């Protein structure tokens, strides 16, 4: 039982690390594209313009798609552990 718990804990840690890495990569990619937009808007308006990438609808949409796939992938593995726990307890 303790081995199963350790495996589950390892899976959850892996999920968190994987999710953070993908999120940061997506953020980096969007930030690179937004820099040109900020400069163009700043030049046009004559004032500094900052765009919060994390609030951008396209970023949110992309992140939700990625997160959904990630959750589905890890969800299958969690389902395996759930069934394993059921077998152990019964």
Q: Are 11 and 77 in contact (CB under 8 A)?
A: yes
Is the sign of the CA dihedral 10, 15, 18, 19 positive or negative?
Answer: negative
Q: Total structural domains in the chain?
A: 1
Q: What DSSP designation does 54 have?
A: G
pLDDT tops 90 at residue 4:
no
In angstroms, rounded to a whole number, what is the distance separating the alpha carbons of residues 55 and 61?
Answer: 10
Give the predicted TM-score (pTM) of the model. Answer: 0.80
Reported as a pLDDT band with limits 50, 70 and 90, residue 2 is: confident
pLDDT in tens, 47-59: 998 889 999 999 9
Half-sphere exposure of 88 (CA within 13 A, CB side): 11
Name the token pair of 19: 């999710």
pLDDT in tens, 19-36: 999 999 999 999 988 888
Q: How many CB atoms lie within 10 A of CB 25?
A: 11
Domain membership of residue 43 as a residue range: 2-89
């Amino acid at each position: 039982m303790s081995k199963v718990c350790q495996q589950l804990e390892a899976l959850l840690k892996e999920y968190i690390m994987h999710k953070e890495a993908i999120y940061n990569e997506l953020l980096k990619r969007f930030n690179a594209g937004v820099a040109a937009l900020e400069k163009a808007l700043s030049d046009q308006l004559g004032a500094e313009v900052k765009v919060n990438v994390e609030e951008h609808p396209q970023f949110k949409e992309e992140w939700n798609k990625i997160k959904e796939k990630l959750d589905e992938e890890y969800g299958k593995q969690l389902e395996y552990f759930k069934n394993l726990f059921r077998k152990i307890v019964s």
